[in-house]
Amino acid sequence: MSELEDAYRLEYFEEEGFTRQECASCGVHFWARVDRETCGEPPCDDYAFIGTPGFDETYTLEEMRETFLSFFEDQGHERIEPYPVAANRWRDDVLLTQASIYDFQPLVTSGETPPPANPLTISQPCIRMQDIDNVGKTGRHTMAFEMMAHHAFNARDDADGEYAYEGEVYWKDETVEYCDRFFESMGVDPTEIVYIEDPWVGGGNAGPAFEVIYRGLELATLVFMSMEQDPDGEYEMKDGNRYSPMDTYIVDTGYGLERWTWMSQGTPTVYEAVYPDMIDFLTDNAGIDHSAAERDLIQEAARLSGYLDVDEIDDLASARAAVADELDVDAAELTALLEPLEDVYAIADHCRTLAYMLGDGIVPSNVGTGYLARMVLRRTKRLVDGLDIDAPLDELVDMQADRLGYTNRDTIRDMVRTEERKYRETLERGRRKVESIAEEYAERAEPIPRQTLIELYDSHGIQPDMVADIARDHGAAVDVPDDFYGLVAARHGEGGDTESADERDTRLADLPETERLFYDDQERIEFEAVVLDVFEREDGYDVVLDQTMFYPAGGGQPADTGTLSTDETTVEVTDVTRRDGVVLHRTADDPGKGEFVRGRIDADRRFSLMRHHTATHIVGHAARQVLGDHVRQAGAQKDTDRARLDIRHFRRVSREEVKEIERVANELVRDNVPVTQEWPDRHEAEAEHGFDLYQGGVPPGQQIRLIHVDDDVQACAGTHVSRTGDIGAIKILGTEPIQDGVERLVFAAGEAAIEATQDTEDALYAAADTLDVDPEDVPETAERFFQEWKERGKQIDRLKEELAEVRAAATDADAVDVGDVAAVIRRMDADADELRATANAIVDEGAVAVLGSAAGGSAQFVVGVPDDVDLNAGEVVGQLAGRVGGGGGGPPDFAQGGGPDVDALDDALDDAPDVLRTIRNT
RNA sequence: GGGCCCGUAGCUCAGCGGUAGAGCACCUCCUUUGCAAGGAGGACGCCCUGGGUUCGAAUCCCAGCGGGUCCA
C-alpha cells in the first residue's frame, strides 16, 4: 500500500501549501493546509456543524443538486441525465446502482464504448442495501441517496489497444482543485478541508483516492481509477489482490448530495435536512412530541452520533451508553427518546428507496432486485407498525414518489398494496404455525429447538423474535442463538464458483469479423461467399466465411440452417454461432478452405423465426399497454412453432388480460405497420428512448441496432419481418408463472398460430365426440357428468353397505366355531371396499370375519375381530397372506393383506380355521 | 438461478403404509334469545395431476402443476 504514497504527492498540494500529516488518533495520512492533531473524521473528531451550518447559505436537496451540476457545467462538464437504480438493466454483474461510476461500467471504463460526454457531471440516484442497519441510527447513513459526481475518461497515449476515447482530459491535480473551488463557492474556509489518503478497490479495479472531510463529515470521495486486477501486478491493495496499471485512467468522484444539503442546514440528522415534510408527517402521525429540553438533548446526542456505525462497533447498546455517559444522562432514557425518532428516519429513507426501486420498474419478487425491494418493503412495514402509524404504506411511498417526480405512481401504489397483502398473509400463516408448535412444546415443557427455529425462518420467513413473542404467550421457551443468521447461511452451504476456461483459438482471433448480410436484406435466402477457414471439431467442422446470410443463435433466436454448395459438393449447415464477431457454420463435411460457395438458408424455418421474433416485440408492446409500463422482458425464446416471452409483472395475468393483449397485438398485425431498423449512436439512442431499449440485454459497441415496431423500440440483433402484416396472426397459447414477479406468455405466430388453434379445437371436438354433444355444450355437459359421476360413487358406496349387511345376515350358514366364538370364513370375489364393508357387518353380528378375494388380479384378505374377542387380526392376515406369497397387517381388530398367488387363495381359506385356533391358543 | 417448506371438507389444519379426521363455517331440531352462546343430529372429499414401489399409497419414490419462503 505504501507503494502508492507517491501517487498522493500532487503539484497542486505543493502550490497550495498542503502538508502530509498523520492522524495522532487513528494513524491515517492526510493532507491539509494547516497543521492538525487528528484527521477530522469521527471517531477522531466530532461533528462540528450540528446547529451551526457549515456553508454561507442553506440549500434544499433540489437547490444543492442544481448548484453542483451547474458549477461543473460552468467548468466545462456536460450534464448527463441519471440512470435507473436497477443497474442490472445495463450490466449483469450487479443488481443496484451503488455509485455514479456504475453507469459507465464495464463498457466505458474498459474503453470499449465512449462515454456519453467527456468530461461529464451527473447526480445519480443510488441504493446501498449494506447500509440498511445504519439508517436512522447514525444520523448520516441513508440507503437511498444521490451521488453527485464529475467524471473524466482518459486513455494513455502509449496504450497499445484501440480505445473509444483518447488522450487526457484531466487527472488528479485538477480534480482536487475542482473540489477546493466548489467548497469555496459554498463559502468554506479552505484551511478547514482535509484530504485523507484512502486507496480505493472495487469491481476488479483500484487506484489512489481521497476522502474529503469538512467539519467532521465526509463530503466527497475522489477516486483515481487507474489499475486493474492482475495476479502479476506490482501493487498489492487492501483486498489482498495484486493490481497493475491499465491503459485507461478515470476520474471517479462522489459528492453525497444529502450530506452537502445537511451541512448547509446543520440539522441534527441528515434526514431532517433532506425530507423535512415527511419527517414532520411521520412524527405527528406517530404522536411524537418533544419538550424543549428533550430537543436540546437530541441535538447534543446527534453531535456524537458519528460514533455509531454498526459496522464498526461491536455492540450498539454499549456505544449508546458511552454517548449517554458523555451527555450525563441515563442510557435507557436516551434510548427511549431516540429510538422512535430513529425509526421515523428509517421509514422516510426506506420509502424513498422503495419509490426509486418501484418507480424505476423493479417488480417485487423472490429473486434479484425484486427480492431486495420485497425485503425493504417488509422491513418498512414492520417499522411503520411498530410506531403505530396509521397511514397506509402505499401513501408513504407515494409521498416520496411524488417528490421524486415519478409518473407511474398508481402502479407503484398498486405494487405496494399487493406486497403488503402478501406479507400480511405470510405473517398470519406464520403466526398459526408458530402457535401450534409453541403449544406442542409448552405441553411437553420443552424449549422450541434451534432446528425448528431455523426452519421456520428459512422455509416460512418467520423472524426468530416473532417466534419468541408468540411462544412466550403460550408458555414455551425459545433459545435464539446469537449467530442465528450464520446458522441459516450454513444451511445453504457454499456456492462454488464455476470457472469457464475459455480457451481462445488463436487462428480464430486472426480472422476478420464476418460481414452479416442478413441485416441488409432480411428476406434474402441465397448468397455467395468465400471460405476463409475451416476448423475441425469433434462432431464436424466450423466453417468461416467472409460474409454470410446465416443468422447465428443469439437474443433468443435460434440459428438458421441450410446448405453451402461448391461446384462439386453441398454440405448441410446444422448450427451457426458467433464468436468475437466471427460467424461459425457447423457442417458435417469440409467444403474446402479457399473455395467459393453458394449459401442457401432454409427459408421456411427462417421466416417462421422472423415472424415469431417480431411477434415477440409486438406481444411485449401489447402487454405493456394492457398491464402497465413496468412490464419488461425477463427473457425470451423463439422457435418455429411457438415463442415465449417472460415479463415482469406483480400479479398473475388474468384470462381477460390475455385476451386483451392478444387483441391489441393482432390489431397491430392488421395495421400492417412497417418494421424498421437503424444503427444510431448508443448514447443518442439511450437519451431518446431510455434504458427500456435493452429488453434483451445490452449490446457492446458505439453503434447499436434498433428495431422499431409502431411505438416500440428495442435494441435487437435478430431478424424481423418487414411489415407487421407479414406475421398473419398471433395466438397466445397460455401463461405460466416462472417465479414470483415473472409471468411467461407462450404464443404462436403465423401458420403456427393457426395450427395451435386447430390443435386446441381438435381437443375440444374429441371431447365433444366422446360426450356425444356439440362442442359448445361440452363445458355444461362435462360439469353435469362430473356431478353425476360423484353422485353415482356415493350411491355405489351406499349399495355396498347394504349388500354387506345382507351378506352378513347369512352368517350362520357358513359360520365355523373357533373355540368359543364363531368365525365366518368366506371367499367372495369383490374389491377391497366391499370386503371391508362385509367384514364390518359380520363383526357387528358378533362373529370373526375372514374374507378372501381374487378380484383385481391378486389374492386379498380382510380380517375383522369383534371388540370382546381376544384375537389379533393382524397376525391372522399375516399368516394367510404368507400363503399367497405376500404380506399384510393392520390394527388388532381389523387387518388387511394379500399376495400375488391367486391359485393358493382357496387353500389358504381352507386353512383359516386352523390358523385362527392356533393364534387364539398362543 | 439454487436450497428448503407446503398442496386433505367452504376456511384453518391433523393424519404420514392398513376402514379419510378435528375445529370453525353450513343445514335441521331443541334450549336460549347478552357480543366468538349451549346441546342433539346432518350434509359436505378425484386426499393437486401423472407415473413408480407395494398384497395395499392421502401417506414412500420420481416427474409435473400450483402456492410459500430463504439465499446469491
Return the minimum-mean-pLDDT range out of A568-572, A750-754, A823-827, A918-922: A918-922
Q: Are residues A834 and A883 in the same domain?
A: yes
Q: Identify the pLDDT of residue A150.
A: 97
Q: Identify the pLDDT of residue A833.
A: 83
- Omega prior to A119 cis, within 30 of 0: yes
C1’ B6 / CA A448, Å: 21
- Exposure string of A3-41, with b = 16+ CB inside 10 Å and e = fewer, is ebeebbebeebeeeebeebebeeeebbbbbbeebebbbb
Q: Are residues A284 and A345 in the same domain?
A: yes
Decide which of A822 and A729 is more confident.
Answer: A729
Q: Are residues A596 and A613 in the same domain?
A: no
pLDDT tens readout for residues A755-784: 988 988 888 888 888 889 999 888 888 888
What Rg, from alpha-carbon coordinates, does chain A have?
38
Q: Identify the pLDDT of residue A528.
A: 94
| pLDDT cut 90: percent of chain A above it | 43
Q: Identify the pLDDT of residue A495.
A: 38
> pLDDT band at residue A39, thresholds of 50, 70 and 90?
very high
Judge whether residue A494 has pLDDT over 50. Answer: no
Return the minimum-mean-pLDDT range out of A392-401, A460-469, A743-752: A460-469
Q: Are residues A536 and A561 in the same domain?
A: yes
Q: What angle do CA A569, A575, A579 make, to 5 degrees?
A: 110
DSSP A775: G
> pLDDT band at residue A311, thresholds of 50, 70 and 90?
low
Q: Are residues A572 and A627 in the same domain?
A: no
C1’ B42 / CA A772, Å: 38
Q: Identify the pLDDT of residue A496.
A: 35
Q: Identify the pLDDT of residue A309.
A: 62
C1’ B19 / CA A784, Å: 30
Judge whether residue A712 has pLDDT over 50. Answer: yes
Is A716 within any annotated ligand binding site? yes
Judge whether residue A827 has pLDDT over 70. Answer: yes
- Nearest 10 degrees: CA dihedral of A639, A641, A647, A652? -150
Q: Is residue A68, in this structure, part of any structural domain at all? A: yes
Report the CATH number at residue A704: 3.30.980.10
Q: Which nucleotide is nearest to A422 (CA to C1')?
A: B68
Judge whether residue A188 has pLDDT over 90. Answer: yes
| pLDDT cut 70: percent of chain A above it | 96
How many folded domains does chain A comprise?
5
Q: Is residue A120, in this structure, part of any structural domain at all? A: yes
> pLDDT band at residue A1, thresholds of 50, 70 and 90?
very low
Residue after which a domain boundary falls, among A601, A619, A644: A601
Q: Are residues A467 and A329 in the same domain?
A: yes
Decide which of A284 and A870 is more confident.
Answer: A284
Q: Identify the pLDDT of residue A130.
A: 79
Q: Is residue A99, in this structure, part of any structural domain at all? A: yes
Sequence letter at residue A625: Q
Residue nearest to nucleotide B68 (CA to C1'): A460
> pLDDT band at residue A812, thresholds of 50, 70 and 90?
low
Is A720 within any annotated ligand binding site? yes
pLDDT tens readout for residues A14-23: 999 999 999 9
Residue after which a domain boundary falls, among A601, A632, A656: A601
Tell me the CA distances in angstroms from A850 to A39, A198, A386, A827, A905, one per residue in order. 95, 89, 66, 9, 12
Q: Are residues A308 and A440 in the same domain?
A: yes
C-alpha cell at A585: 457454420
Judge whether residue A141 has pLDDT over 90. Answer: no
Q: Is residue A3, in this structure, part of any structural domain at all? A: no
Q: Tell me, what's the ipTM?
A: 0.83
C1’ B57 / CA A370, Å: 40
Judge whether residue A545 has pLDDT over 70. Answer: yes
Q: Which nucleotide is nearest to A493 (CA to C1')?
A: B3
pTM over 0.90: no
Report the CATH number at residue A533: 2.40.30.130
Q: Where are the beta strands (DSSP E) in A806-914?
A: 815-818, 821-827, 848-853, 859-864, 887-889, 894-899
Residue nearest to nucleotide B55 (CA to C1'): A898
> pLDDT band at residue A144, thresholds of 50, 70 and 90?
very high
Q: Is residue A890, in this structure, part of any structural domain at all? A: yes
Q: Which nucleotide is nearest to A375 (CA to C1')?
A: B70
C1’ B53 / CA A489, Å: 36
Q: Identify the pLDDT of residue A701.
A: 75
Q: Is residue A787, in this structure, part of any structural domain at all? A: no
Q: Are residues A512 and A470 in the same domain?
A: no
Using the structure block, give the residue that is written with the C-alpha cell 392478444: A662
Q: Is residue A852, in this structure, part of any structural domain at all? A: yes
Mean pLDDT of chain A: 88
Return the minimum-mean-pLDDT range out of A54-68, A564-578, A664-678: A564-578
Q: Are residues A812 and A898 in the same domain?
A: yes
Residue after which a domain boundary falls, among A573, A601, A629: A601
Q: Which nucleotide is nearest to A861 (CA to C1')?
A: B55
Q: Is residue A474, in this structure, part of any structural domain at all? A: yes
Return the minimum-mean-pLDDT range out of A223-227, A423-427, A618-622: A423-427
Tell me the CA distances in angstroms from A176 to A75, A259, A364, A704, A920, one per residue in order. 14, 19, 41, 36, 102
Is A621 within any annotated ligand binding site? no
pLDDT tens readout for residues A522-531: 888 999 999 9
Is A689 within any annotated ligand binding site? no
Report the CATH number at residue A805: 3.10.310.40
Q: Which nucleotides of B are covered by protein (CB under 7 A)?
A: 1-5, 12-14, 18-19, 44-46, 54-56, 65-72
Q: Are residues A314 and A396 in the same domain?
A: yes
Using the structure block, give the residue that is written with the C-alpha cell 407479414: A726
C1’ B23 / CA A168, Å: 78
Q: Are residues A284 and A423 in the same domain?
A: yes
Q: Which nucleotide is nearest to A839 (CA to C1')?
A: B19
C1’ B70 / CA A618, Å: 36
Q: Which domain holds residue A671?
A: 608-756
Q: Are residues A253 and A401 in the same domain?
A: no
